[in-house]
Chain A
Amino acid sequence: MNTAKTKNPAGLASFTQAWLGLVALTFISLYLSNWFHGTAWLQILVAAIIWLKGILVAKEFIEIKAAHTFIRRVVLGFVAVTPLVLLIIAYFGNQVARWATL
């Protein structure tokens, strides 16, 4: 199963960059939440940050580009679904609430 063998742990530099990116995005999202509370476009930015963080973990840590097609679809699909639904709820929350009422 393990075919991606290298002599040097070359991934460490890109892992470090991904980790720094994740930490930075965490603080950026807190900053946005503090300063733009209640604005309509905050949810778009938060959805984008959720997607970006998921992509960083999938691409750098799971090494999704080299993974089997099924695994790639499962992970990238999961990462994409939540921000999309978040945007749907933000802009069409009333309709969703009506559809989801018993």
Chain B
Amino acid sequence: MTAVAATGLERLETESSNGRIPGNKGIWVGITCEFVEFLVLFAVYFIARAHFPEAFEQGGEKLSRLAGTAITLLMVTSSFFIACSVATMRAGQRRASIAWLVAGLVMALGYPLAKFLEFQWNMANGITGESGIFFTVYYYLTLNHLVHATWGILGILWVLARHLVGGYTSDDYSGLEALASYWHATDIIWLVLFSFFYVLV
């Protein structure tokens, strides 16, 4: 038992000398898996693009850039608000932290709404998963991202519930920071998807 405790202490010392862990270790296992998953999905995009460059140059022109831009602004703004929530909690400003988190949640909820409207617009314009290789890849990647964002929104709701009952203090806010790290990682992935489908046309 003493040896185990000593090993744990040594590990903690190593961690502090190598830098801190934003949130907790568990969320970074999840984020690393998320990155690996999307690298595989990006490989699908790149291989399809290499095989069918014309389809990818023309396909994006048919998508709604307004929807893509709206989702990007919602994602970066919610990421910004949630980062502010962590910073204010760190400074001991609990009420401000809750307010920033609620603002981040409102922005985050705009994403599935914008995606729903975009898909409705797509259907009205005859854009389905069978409209060509570009659109198959577009639905595959963006729906996958929407699933990850939905997990993030559920995470925000859980963290908000804990925050409201005093679950975080300026000394212990690792749950809030873990959620923020996941949301920022999901934001980084969307910024790549935005360029893939709405900019590189």
Contact = CB atoms under 8 A, between A and B. Distances in A.
B39 A89 contact: no
Contacts of B80: 15-16, 18-19, 22, 61
A57 B187 contact: yes
Interface in B180-201: 180-181, 184-185, 187-188, 191-192, 194-195, 198-201
Contacts of A26: 69, 72-73, 76, 194
B79 A61 contact: yes
B184 A46 contact: no
A54 B187 CA distance: 9
A2 B173 contact: yes
A53 to B, nearest CB: 5
Contact of A72 (B19, B32, B47): B19
Interface of B is mostly: helix
Contacts, number: 158
Interface of A is mostly: helix
Contacts of B188: 53-54, 57-58, 75, 78-79
B88 interface: yes
Interface of A: 1-12, 15-16, 18-19, 22-23, 26, 29-30, 32-33, 37-38, 42-43, 46, 49-50, 53-54, 57-58, 60-63, 66-72, 74-75, 78-79, 81-82, 85-86, 89, 93-94, 96-97, 100-101
A4 B47 CA distance: 42
